Homo-oligomer: A and B are copies of this chain.
């Protein structure tokens, strides 16, 4: 029920409160780091906060405050035969639960997106970041209170056991939407156990198909960008499919261009360039690393069927100068985002013009691809009459 201005003021106060409480947050974060002995350095880096990271969290919240209000949009309007004025209006879900893993900044990010979209947030962080997330949420609640809002608009599950995550997944009637933010294991656990409405997010086994009529320079720069610009994210390319008609010519160029990337080659590709043999599993793996599985296919048809069998339906691309081949690929590849002559790295809330992102949906219900504030709303029908009854 909050107005746009009320939400805006709350978000700005939350951002200020984060910075003001940075010492307390860093103290709790150090405790988390001390406890987290058996985790990898990569995970430690994700877990570690700094003054700089807290400031950028606050800036993220301020950016969200500047986005347009998704609530109360009239999506459709019609007057029916009985003379009823039927309006389809966007409304918040209500209570949005988010289960996330190590990075504590997700707590601030998620709380801001939920508040901006009119939802109450219920956060359940990973056990490694337990103390950091609590300190962050404590600061955010302080911001809410400063502008006279109930701090129950943002909530943190006060328990780090698996049991609390399971209870959240099964809190029918209390949780209107569950969004897992994390690795494949977490997402699978939510999809398999949730009785509350749940959005499958994240994992991206993204494919790039280089067609016989591709511009090689364009193909090479797109593949290099999709694989190496940021290998650890879900919209990075993991599998390259090369048309057999150009494989002999193209693969050597690829190998030279992707110096430093480990290529895992199908049998046909091995006959053309040297490299490690791909195992069956390599075409079903989200490497999130400088590794690319390479398969030679007999044209666009085989590329499409390989993608249908192995994709996680996140993002795929075709590189070709032939508009017909492109149209064929674009109409038959059923993924959230399908590209012609562009890098899969563009599948992102910011790049798509949402200004933010709570996750990237890889399922088909409610939302596909980047989910922003609008996707954190549902709708209601509001109907005005003057005594109409049904005949």
Contact = CB atoms under 8 A, between A and B. Distances in A.
A339 B197 contact: no
A366 B366 contact: yes
Contacts of A334: 91, 94, 380
A324 B384 CA distance: 13
Interface of A: 1, 78, 80, 82, 84, 86, 91, 93-94, 172, 176-177, 191-192, 195, 197, 199, 215, 218, 221-222, 224-226, 229, 330-332, 334-343, 345-347, 351-353, 363-366, 368-369, 378-390
A382 B222 contact: no
A15 to B, nearest CB: 25
Counting every copy of the chain, the complex holds 2
Contact of A340 (B172, B363, B384): B384
Contacts of A199: 365
A364 B93 contact: yes
Contacts of A364: 93-94, 176-177, 197, 378
A334 B67 CA distance: 25
A196 to B, nearest CB: 9
Given A191-B172, A364-B94, A366-B365, A388 B342 contact: yes
A341 to B, nearest CB: 5
A390 B82 CA distance: 53
Contacts of A369: 380-381
A1 B385 contact: no
A86 B172 CA distance: 36
A338 to B, nearest CB: 6
